[in-house]
Structure 1
């Protein structure tokens, strides 16, 4: 992978760059739609490519391992071919899913033993096994196996977990070095910074990860319930240490406001289920605030979903029509809302990039944060 940093904002640490893998270029900052089980929920791959124009989507190692299972993906020739997607894919290693299975897993130095949420079967994820699985999945960017600590988290637990994540990272790298690519393109490996919300631990972890010299770096263990200000504080600490010439990925974040504030701190890559999950529940993100489309106030509002007309579906459908679909429990409502929200998120990061390059990112960001922090 190549990463070119084109410009950094003079009044913040916001950056505009370009990542290039064997599956194409990714302009940063970027938001990655979440396609957990080889599908971005409620939308077709064609819409993700043609309407939303996403350069990269995310898949999840834990979920793909359980279903459709790795042997199926290997027979298909990897995840790209299996799901008919010829652009970039990033896979999360499954560390966050292991964290979320707190009642059904045991974490030890060897790895994590867990029970499937599908059928209760028992499995073991070690750093080595997770690297092998991600080789078979064939994502362009693959993640180190880590432990995502809960919030709040006691200092000693966070410290032990961080050091174990670092030891697991060393094992990941050693195993990758003797595990060849499965397909006819390269894969890029990102280690993950941990340390909960403790400044000294975040510094230690960022320094350890920076020393690895990977082609990109990720920040995990945030957006797990901590106040936004703590998230921003930890992000700032880590971005001050991670190398400037490598992309920085803040995992699992977040709201549109979270994304803009973290771009200002130097983050290049984001993913979150919020735009798709909220869309299926009738919550729409717009440049002027959020809309609960199921509210009666939209019953006879025939204006576009977002008057700015910034996403594909805004030009096609009215608020009244979309509300009708939700009230009638028509699947099309979820689809339209999902395309809108993903389109808005991609519009937002592209606008951020444009303003970084034009030199007025900070005033634009401050105005957008005020506008979006409203319920319409």
Structure 2
């Protein structure tokens, strides 16, 4: 993996870069659709590619539970297994272990937990997490980290930071695949001292990229932006910065302004499956009765397959009739919307007009 910054906005810390990965050049800032279990829900790999997406995120935790990392390896790796020819990043599953599992027991060795699928007892250590991701064969893999809830006491967050740093070092020691880039994850909840401490130590470990984890867990946008303000300052400027699990358009713009390069979130597809579409004027909740006879597209400024071919009235009909096509068409539109937004962001940075673009976006966008 190779990363370089091509342009920096003079009025903000926004930057336009390139991520050279697996023979691809991925422009940044970039939004990565989420295919948790080896699939972006309701969409084919071809449909995802046609939105302009070049890299997607899958989850090592879910894939190791089902079908298993060894099976994926035997079948040629995750790219071949899911039929995706673009780049793949895998989350280590740290967040999922703590949020989805029952009877979780955390120690310096790792995490013992009960599988949410069959109830079996499992142990994840940093070494095992790296082996799982090595076997799966993603292009970018994440170190194992300890996530804490919000709110939490500073002492609890401090212990988690210490453990995250210990696990990060063990992940580096056990990682042996030069074809995969390993990213470290900054934790520390909303405590400035802990975030800076974690970032400084991780920077010394010389990861190929750095993620900001443990945000968008209930702290709100103001606190999240404050955390980014002081955390990004301690991340090396020559390496990609990845804000994990954050995906509302307004949050992406605030993060780009602070120098973040990479994003992932289930928001586009989850909202799409629930009848909510993103447009340049804000969200459209398609089940609203006002769209029953609306002949217009979801977004008159959009040229995705959905907007070029179907009316709001038809899309509403699909959801009322509980037709699967409705889920597909709104998910497809939403991912296209996010890819177009990122392209507009990149263009505005290159022109030196990111702040102006951000202001214009918020003047039109209504967060309904």
Q: d(CA) in 1 for partners of 2:343 and 2:208?
A: 23
* 1:8-28 Cα distance to aligned partner (Å, 9 max, x none): 101111110000111411100
Taking the TM superposition and a 5 Å limit, the aligned residue runs for 1:127-146 are 127-146=126-145
CA RMSD of aligned residues (A): 1.1
Name the residue aligned to 1:76.
75
Q: Is 1:363 matched up with 2:362?
A: no
* TM-score, L = length of structure 2: 0.98
Q: d(CA) in 2 for partners of 1:15 and 1:162?
A: 28
Name the residue aligned to 2:46.
46
Tell me by how many angstroms 1:209 deviates: 1.4
Q: d(CA) in 2 for partners of 1:35 and 1:131?
A: 19
Please state whether the residue corresponding to 1:68 is helix, strand or coil.
coil
Please state whether the residue corresponding to 1:355 is helix, strand or coil.
helix
Tell me by how many angstroms 1:370 deviates: 3.2
Tell me by how many angstroms 1:373 deviates: 2.8
1:12, 1:265 within 8 Å by CA — same for their partners in 2? yes
Name the residue aligned to 1:208.
201
Q: d(CA) in 2 for partners of 1:369 and 1:148?
A: 32
Please state whether the residue corresponding to 2:7 is helix, strand or coil.
strand
From the superposition, tell whether residues 180 and 269 of structure 1 become closer, same or farther in structure 2 (CA, over 3 Å): closer
Tell me by how many angstroms 1:86 deviates: 1.3
Q: Is 1:173 matched up with 2:172?
A: yes
From the superposition, tell whether residues 293 and 200 of structure 1 become closer, same or farther in structure 2 (CA, over 3 Å): same
1:216, 1:246 within 8 Å by CA — same for their partners in 2? yes
Taking the TM superposition and a 5 Å limit, the aligned residue runs for 1:276-295 are 276-295=269-288
1:257, 1:373 within 8 Å by CA — same for their partners in 2? no
Q: d(CA) in 2 for partners of 1:6 and 1:339?
A: 30
Tell me by how many angstroms 1:279 deviates: 0.6
Q: d(CA) in 2 for partners of 1:180 and 1:219?
A: 23
Q: Which runs of 5+ in 1 are unaligned?
A: none
Name the residue aligned to 2:257.
264
Q: d(CA) in 1 for partners of 2:58 and 2:25?
A: 18
Q: d(CA) in 1 for partners of 2:7 and 2:195?
A: 26
Out of 227, 245, 260, the position equivalent to 2:220 is 227
Q: d(CA) in 2 for partners of 1:180 and 1:261?
A: 35
Q: Is 1:153 matched up with 2:146?
A: no
Q: d(CA) in 1 for partners of 2:324 and 2:23?
A: 32
Tell me by how many angstroms 1:254 deviates: 2.0
Q: d(CA) in 2 for partners of 1:110 and 1:350?
A: 43
Q: Is 1:342 matched up with 2:335?
A: yes
Q: d(CA) in 1 for partners of 2:177 and 2:52?
A: 31
Tell me by how many angstroms 1:369 deviates: 2.3
* TM-score, L = length of structure 1: 0.96
Aligned pairs, how many?
Answer: 368
* 1:141-188 Cα distance to aligned partner (Å, 9 max, x none): 000000111100100000010010000001111111xx346xxxx100
Name the residue aligned to 1:328.
321
